[in-house]
Structure 1
Amino acid sequence: MQPIPYWRLSSFYLFYFALLGSTAPFLALYFDHLGFAPARIGELVAIPMLMRCIAPNLWGWLGDRTGQRLLIVRLGALCTLATFSLIFFGKSYAWLAIVMALHAFFWHAVLPQFEVITLAHLHGQTSRYSQVRLWGSIGFILTVVGLGRLLEWLSLDIYPVALVLIMAGIVAASLWVPNAQPVEHGERHGAGGFLKQLRAPGVLAFYVCVALMQLSHGPYYTFLTLHLEHLGYSRTAIGLLWALGVVAEVVMFMLMSRLFARFSVRRVLLASFVLAAVRWLLLGNLAAQPGVLVGAQLLHAATFGCFHAASIAFVQSSFGARQQGQGQALYAALSGTGGALGALYAGYSWNMLGPGLTFGMASVAALAAAVIMAFHSQPNRTLR
């Protein structure tokens, strides 16, 4: 058995999620700096999420068909850098929409294929996945804190430059990672094609829950920074609050193997949905109270950490080696669908209904996912 290239895999996650750490908290702030209204901001933020509905399935099918997953990762990273660099040539709504769509088409090709490569290097030991993935959370923390401080000192005009530098890091990290192919383990995983495995008990219900969970994150990823700015928090404080949530996520990733030893994947997912519903109510109504806001950010351990690790484990256990790319791609695509719808409704409702009701609708979506998981998923799906 080949040794696990831990640091090579970890370095890729570090840079990949550093990019997310620079976009999730600050992209809407940058568009606001350019003078766009909340509805237009919601649309621009939703465009990359909409591309996530299309790109992962196309690239996932291509990866499973050709087996050239690492090549797709490298080309996707390079094209992400090249297409996003077009942002320096214009700042109109139409031009920015094109840049958001183009770079996202390639960016969303990368992670699902890399997840398959990582799991192949781990030889199916999904309990070790969290130990590698936590470096993505560390990258997110470093970026969100560092960029928050930088944007306090300098103009938001330097924001695209920071993104380009991080994208260059993703390209470099992708060149350092060795290839690996998933191996079949038993007949069940290889039985039938992708669609047959998708119709297995509980699998479709899981994917519906994924879309609802990401829809519930729409107001959080699109308007939390603006929401906290309007409540009087500084950009440095906002960056630290984003980082606090991801620190909680890192701790949870470190504990996931113990959690999976005691609880089924289904129960972990169910708990994450319920806690998400609570978190959105707190952020929408009580974020002006620092103690409540800190508690709400600590819940990121459940609403992302537990949810993501359990979802990756669910997909890995539900599809065979030849369908892993499509399984991970569908997870990414439905996450994008839900996230895009969440960003769009948040953009239109933010001024009309206010933060409280906007986050309240997010809470309802998370509760709907909990109900589906409780009554329509396979009850005995476990990960040991």
Structure 2
Amino acid sequence: MINQTVNQIDRLATPDGGSMGGARLAYFCYFAAMAGFMPFLSLYYAQLGLSASEIGLLVGIPPVVTFVAAPLWGGLADATHRHKQILSGAVVSAMLVVLVFLVARGLPLLIPVVVAYALFSAPIMPLIDNTVLAMLGEERARYGRVRLWGALGWGVVGTVGGVLVDWVGLRVSFLNYFVFMLILLLIVLRLPVAQTSIGSRFWQGARSLFAEPQWVVLLIAIFCSGVAMSITNSFLFLYVDELGGSRTLMGLSLTVATVSEVPIFFYAERLLRRWGARGLLAIALLAQVVRTFAYALIPAAWLILPISLLHGFTFSAMWSASVAYASELAAPKGLMATAQGLLGGVSMGLGGVMGALVGGLVYERYGAVALFVAVGLVALAGLAFFVAAGPGATEQSRLRPRYPG
């Protein structure tokens, strides 16, 4: 039954009857699984009686594990040429580990579960991305429109997940993850998973990139943004809970955020032509500053909804611009794949763990308002440094944006 449904959606989504519909559905299911699970995990930890600093520790583990494990998984896949087996095995393992959350109690038992979950989750998105890019071939510019299906999955299930958590309780979020990952597994087994290299020469290329001063400037700015994003993702719903907000409101805020993503992703190429990668990145950093300070000032929980509209800039524009700018800096060295891996590692890895760990300590000692004021200052420092340390006229001409149209 499920397989027949996947076949029907695949044919509808792809006029030529190929596999791109399955790729779209893969993104939808993966982010649907995450939307109904990850945003509510901090609330689940709090329900178990963990402190804010303990929650910060648990939330900070996955970025570190992913930063280390993703290149290792990629290297293993390249060395064995078993990309599909590793991807499907990772999906199955992540599904099963998530169920263990339901029986683990206390920090000592939860830590190994979180480590295992992060370890098995690490290769899933890189291998899916690698497959989609290989399927697109020379039409890689269409990647953003395929990736949009992930945003749709996040937005739709975010709201439904919030309603279900209100009705049934937080444990239903684990079932949501399991069901959508099961559908993802069925899709992955049908996809022509690419066996092109995703893990070779990563660290050698990273050392070469650090010789470029503007690359270091970009990473510092992206690190500050990653800290702000991590704190928002990890502690916003705890703050909304303090303000009396419902789980339905939390889920609705995910949908509002996703709606704001869609036009930015869709028109990203046009925005890059208008502002350039560096200009659009500066605008996104400014939006990050406004968003975090706004959270500190809200007197009522429902105000997270209009603030969530800034997510389109703080995530979609931020990611589109940073990916484009990183490509500009890395293209002369032939290290674009390495640049994208390092960009994600610094933003979601190092920035993610710093935001989670330090954020938990600040939240526990000083409260949510102080936390969002502090992270607003971090984001402001990142913006100020990015603008002040920009390239000179000669460097700007060398890094002139290269976008068609």
TM-score range, shorter chain: 0.7 to 0.9
CA contact (8 A) 1:52 1:104 kept: yes
Aligned pair 1:240/2:231, yes or no? no
The alpha-carbon deviation at position 352 of structure 1 amounts to: 1.9
Give, in whole Å, the separation in 1 of the partners of 2:209 and 2:270. 28
Higher relative contact order (CA 8 A, sep 6+): 1
1:249 to 261, 279, 282: 261
The alpha-carbon deviation at position 253 of structure 1 amounts to: 1.2
1:296 to 307, 313, 321: 307
2:366 to 344, 353, 356: 353
2:119 to 91, 95, 105: 105
Which range moved further: 25-34 or 88-97? Answer: 88-97
Shift of the 237–84 alpha-carbon distance from structure 1 to 2, 3 Å rule, reads closer
Shift of the 344–333 alpha-carbon distance from structure 1 to 2, 3 Å rule, reads same
Aligned pair 1:336/2:349, yes or no? yes
Give, in whole Å, the separation in 2 of the partners of 1:172 and 1:287. 45
Q: Which amino acid aligns with 2:351?
A: G
Give, in whole Å, the separation in 2 of the partners of 1:284 and 1:248. 21
SS of 1:25 mapped into structure 2? helix
Q: How many residues align?
A: 373
Q: Which residue does 1:284 correspond to in 2?
A: 296
Percent of aligned pairs with the same residue?
26
2:320 to 283, 301, 309: 309
Aligned pair 1:265/2:280, yes or no? no
Q: Which residue does 1:364 correspond to in 2?
A: 377
Q: Which residue does 1:189 correspond to in 2?
A: none
Which range moved further: 150-159 or 318-327? Answer: 318-327
Give, in whole Å, the separation in 1 of the partners of 2:50 and 2:25. 35
The alpha-carbon deviation at position 71 of structure 1 amounts to: 4.6
CA contact (8 A) 1:57 1:326 kept: no
Q: Which residue does 1:50 correspond to in 2?
A: 64
1:91-102 equivalent positions in 2, closer than 5 A: 91-102=105-116
The alpha-carbon deviation at position 104 of structure 1 amounts to: 0.6
Give, in whole Å, the separation in 2 of the partners of 1:152 and 1:268. 38
Q: Which residue does 2:5 correspond to in 1?
A: none
The alpha-carbon deviation at position 344 of structure 1 amounts to: 1.2
Which range moved further: 71-80 or 276-285? Answer: 71-80
Aligned pair 1:196/2:208, yes or no? yes
Give, in whole Å, the separation in 2 of the partners of 1:120 and 1:324. 15
SS of 1:226 mapped into structure 2? helix
Give, in whole Å, the separation in 2 of the partners of 1:50 and 1:99. 14
Unaligned runs of 5+ in 2: 1-15, 198-203
Shift of the 162–11 alpha-carbon distance from structure 1 to 2, 3 Å rule, reads same
Which range moved further: 53-62 or 23-32? Answer: 53-62
CA contact (8 A) 1:119 1:182 kept: no
Shift of the 333–160 alpha-carbon distance from structure 1 to 2, 3 Å rule, reads same
The alpha-carbon deviation at position 131 of structure 1 amounts to: 0.8
Give, in whole Å, the separation in 1 of the partners of 2:80 and 2:322. 25
Q: Which amino acid aligns with 1:161?
A: L
Aligned pair 1:74/2:88, yes or no? yes
Give, in whole Å, the separation in 1 of the partners of 2:327 and 2:29. 23
2:44 to 30, 34, 48: 30
Q: Which amino acid aligns with 2:231?
A: P
The alpha-carbon deviation at position 278 of structure 1 amounts to: 0.7
CA contact (8 A) 2:31 2:151 kept: yes
Shift of the 329–164 alpha-carbon distance from structure 1 to 2, 3 Å rule, reads same
Q: Which residue does 1:382 correspond to in 2?
A: 401
The alpha-carbon deviation at position 356 of structure 1 amounts to: 2.0
The alpha-carbon deviation at position 381 of structure 1 amounts to: 4.8
Using structure 2 for the length normalisation, give the TM-score: 0.82
CA contact (8 A) 1:11 1:135 kept: yes
The alpha-carbon deviation at position 319 of structure 1 amounts to: 5.6
Give, in whole Å, the separation in 2 of the partners of 1:92 and 1:262. 51
Structure with larger Rg: 2
Q: Which amino acid aligns with 2:371?
A: T
CA contact (8 A) 2:82 2:195 kept: no
Give, in whole Å, the separation in 1 of the partners of 2:331 and 2:126. 14
The alpha-carbon deviation at position 73 of structure 1 amounts to: 3.0
